[in-house]
Amino acid sequence: MSTLVVENLRVEIQAGARLLKPVDDVSFVIGANECVALLGESGCGKSMTALALMRLLPDGGRVASGSVRLDDEDVFALTEAAMGEVRGGRLAMIFQEPQSSLNPVMTVSDQINEALVAHRGLTGAAAASEEAVRLLEAVGLGREKLDAYPFQLSGGQRQRALIAMMLAGEPEVLIADEPTTALDVTVQAQILKLLKALQVQRGMGLLLITHDLDVASDMADRVAVMYAGQIVEWASRAALYTAPKHPYTQKLFAVLPRLDRRGERLDSLPGRVPGPDSAFTGCRFADRCPAVFERCRVETPSFHEATPGHWSRCHLAEPCSRDVGSTDAAQRNPGTLESIPRMPPATASGLTKCVLEVRDLAVHFPIRKGLLKRTVGHVKAVDGVSLQVAAGETLALVGESGCGKTTLARAILRLIEPTAGQVSLLGEPLANLRGEALRRKRSEMQIVFQDPFSSLNPRMKVGEILAEGMAAQSFLSVAARPARINDLLNQVGLPEDAVGRYPHEFSGGQRQRIAIARALAVEPKLLILDEPTSALDVSVQAQILNLLADLQKMHGLAYLFITHNLSVVSYLAHRVAVMRGGKIVESGMAETLLTRPQNAYTQLLLDSAPGKKALLPAE
């Protein structure tokens, strides 16, 4: 099979008057039958690199310089017609969003056949459909999915169908751009396993673009770490995961929340990835680097081979320079019950003070059908859930999409009316509260949402956002509120001049801080955190998790932490409840549940988490 060689690739995008350089001098190689992971946080230029390889850059984007060679073929020198042969033929690509990446009005077989016609010249209906079935079976879908439309498939099935389409041209290199980011953890494990198996069977090169260190570790033979449009480290997986050379890579490992870091503060990485329109002198990572020294600010580090096969773009990793000192950041703790650090006890008052008690809560949505729209059945989004959260305690509610965890959160807050069951806050049942009494009670429970972009009104200043809850709850006198707002901003680590600014001036992590401050403004006892870090990069996630831990300690808050991310759960939860199909299937102390799950589904979740290597075929 063939190798893909990328040399000195630069991509420029003209966005209005600004010239963006999302990819700036990127070189790497994908050998035959090799999986290379392109690793980095959002905004590093990973996807742009991939699109440039496919010559699918968005309007306004162009390759400024560099070359891509597939064996001896110079991809950038091809005519557009010849590129059509290569695209989907020798070089194929799958995308992140299985929801939107398939044409919604064409059947799966139509969409596969198109590729077969284009690249294999299969025109006969019988031959084509025979081949389509073979492809579907290769990705683990049955023949009956041939005539299905994308909307009739689940997310994982759609991603499989997309893979089948891209395999139709028998590609030599497959590019997978965050192929599992939008999927649930169990489905992610299946898709990754499928990709690895296909790569091995077909001897393809696989370029896996991901932000997840564990996914890269499971899949890749070699890893390229990208930062601000450049590759900062390039090494075999083994070398990178045992002895990362670049401070950025080291930091990426250090900020991961994990079971063996329970109770510790997470290492954090200040600042954010510089934008693609920044101008640089010296090292691009200098502003955030813990090991920065004066040379970094003036001299751009070269990309050099630190140890054989291990390249790095850091002055410290140059031969005959100071030793970086190998960190044990990447050393993984297998995590047995005995070795897990104990969480500090919830609060001094102990676990006795129950803040939230939910008993047999159910939320059913009616299904209406027929001439008169009669109710013929119910969707049981939440079906008899009971749980308790004490002051100072974190209860993690774990489950995959559609299990009802968000509906449960909204029902607890009475944003939707529960069908049955009872929610008590500080011993007082909410069900009987109406109007003013319910409004008063709302100050005791607040929520922080997942998406830091849609959770803040873009038309309100930060000061107004923070004051809104206080005004609604008549909390403090109007005169006392500005001082309280300043205090809140301090608590969440934002400057005081944020008051007069609008949300769009802040980064995702800062916005999430604003959202937390907003929730805290009315001094709640219970904070429901609905996937508060899943839209954030890992380095920012660490900052927010640290902040949440501090705030819990300071105010004795009870957290109901809703998430699908098991490593976050293992890092911060006191207790865990696993939810599936509207019911809680298992709950218990975090240490026990995560190491000795009783329920088969819990076991499956734990096994599916990337970084286990358990699901992959023996190499």
Residues forming contacts to other proteins in the complex (CB under 8 A) are: 16, 54, 56, 59, 81, 84-89, 92-93, 95, 97, 100-107, 114-115, 118-119, 149, 151, 162, 165-166, 168-169, 369-371, 410, 413, 415, 438-440, 442-443, 445-447, 449-451, 454-460, 468-469, 471-473, 502, 504, 515, 518-519, 522
Please state the closest distance from residue 357 (CB atom) to other proteins, in A.
19
* Helices assigned H by DSSP within 309-355: none
Percent of residues in the chain assigned helix, strand, coil, to nearest 5:
35, 25, 40
Long-range Cβ pairs for the range 601-607 (8 Å, 24+): 602/578, 604/186, 605/185, 605/186, 605/398, 605/400, 605/566, 605/578, 606/566, 607/189
Residue closest to 311 by CA, chosen among 232, 213, 210: 232
Distance from C-alpha of 531 to C-alpha of 560, rounded to nearest angstrom: 10
Largest CA-CA distance found in the chain, in angstroms, rounded: 82
| CA-wise closest residue to 199 among 226, 231, 166 | 166
Tokens of 127: 């031959």
Residue 526 has a CB neighbour count (10 Å cut-off) of: 20
Nearer to other proteins, 292 or 413 (CB): 413
DSSP category for residue 264 = S
Of the pair 337, 472, the CB lying nearest other proteins is at 472
Q: What does the block give as tokens for 341?
A: 């650090």
CA distance 18 to 568: 38
Spatial contact of 206 and 174, defined as CB atoms under 8 Å apart: yes
CA-to-CA separations, 553 to 263, 348, 466, 530, 549, in angstroms, rounded? 11, 10, 22, 20, 6
End-to-end Cα distance, the chain: 19
Number of H-type helices and E-type strands within the chain:
19, 22
**DSSP letter assigned to residue 239:** H
For residue 495, give both structure tokens.
């400057």
Angle at 427 between CA 424 and CA 431, to 5 degrees: 35
- CA-to-CA distance for 162 and 102, rounded, in angstroms? 7
The pairing of beta strand 354-369 with beta strand 374-390 = antiparallel
- Cα separation of 444 and 355, whole Å? 9
Strand order from edge to edge, sheet including 374-390:
374-390, 354-369, 420-425, 428-429
- Strands 230-236 and 310-312, by their bridges, are antiparallel
Nearest CA to 111 out of 78, 145, 76 is that of: 145
Beta strands 73-74 and 91-94, pairing class: unpaired
Whats the size of the chain, residue-wise?
Answer: 619
User: Alpha helices of 3-154 — where are they, by DSSP H?
Assistant: 46-54, 80-86, 108-120, 125-138
Query: In the complex, what is the shortest distance from the CB of residue 76 to other proteins, in angstroms, rounded to a whole number?
Result: 16
Distances in Å between the Cα of 551 and the Cα atoms of 161, 213, 268, 488, 515 are 45, 28, 17, 11, 14
